[in-house]
Amino acid sequence: MRCAILADIHGNLTALKAVLDDIGKQGKVDEIWCLGDIVGYGAEPCECISLLKKLNAVCVAGNHDVGAIGKIDLVYFNPLAAEALEWTAEKLTPMDVYYLQELPKTVQKDEFLLAHGSPSSPLFEYVISTGSAERNFGFFHSRYCLVGHTHVPAAFRQESKKISSTQPAPSRGILLGEERMIINPGAVGQPRDGDPRASYGIFDSKDNFFRLFRVEYDVRTAQDKMAQVGLPIQLIMRLEQGK
């Protein structure tokens, strides 16, 4: 089985399409797994939902997905994110709202638990350190967990009592062996690791490797679309900075 692992698309259809093109070049995948935050920040939330629906992607809810449909109050977001979510809420069709409403907080796919933030707090917690990873290994039972939310690729491995972290890089894959792991594929639509290229992963059960991919996309087009609909300038600028 080969699965493409996408997170934090954030209404950036230009980046999502570039990633899907790139996935096509890597060979056939059996499933697309999406770790939440389909909407928020970007100018094409409805189009991103439609595309994921068409592809039968397996998705979990992110905090922006539930924020956009009023399931959590916008006071829990920073002012720029809240402004973009207010705009997003206006755009969503009733079918989009229904789709986002029905997204589960976690999904178990074979040996992988899929969550947006963390297994212990799927909508909100950031797994950013070995400390937060260590605590979260106690909150899922399968061997591996896939998370997004930080917009930064990361991998945490549980080796007996010790937790180690490795930085996934496009040049080398990560062997998923006996040890339990928490892996973040980075963000499709708003990377924050200083590299503006879209980020995603592919897991292949044939060799048990997780591989990270970075994809150049037309950032300018995504920015123009945001400017046209009046989204905050800071959100537009951060796309080219990758932070």
Q: Which residue ranges make up the site for Zn ion (CB under 5 A)?
A: 8, 37
- Nearest CA among 143, 225, 128, 237 for reference residue 186: 128
Nearest residue relative to Zn ion (C-beta): 37
Sheet containing strand 31-34, strands side by side: 58-59, 31-34, 2-6, 198-204, 209-215, 174-175
User: Between residues 163 and 231, which has the closer beta carbon with respect to Zn ion?
Assistant: 231
What's the min distance (Å) between Cβ of 150 and Zn ion?
8
What's the gap between Cα 171 and its chain centre? Answer: 20
Query: What's the closest the beta carbon of residue 180 comes to Zn ion, in angstroms?
Result: 24
The CB-of-28 to Zn ion minimum distance in angstroms stands at 28
Instruction: Using the minimum distance from each CB to Zn ion, give the nearer residue, 8 or 47.
Output: 8
Comparison of 8 and 204: residue with beta carbon closer to Zn ion? 8
40 vs 173 by CB, closer to Zn ion: 40
116, 103 Cβ separation under 8 angstroms: no
Quote the CA–CA distance of 114 and 34 in Å, as a whole number: 8
Instruction: Evaluate whether 85 touches 67 at the Cβ level (below 8 Å).
Output: yes
CB of 62 to Zn ion, least distance (A): 6
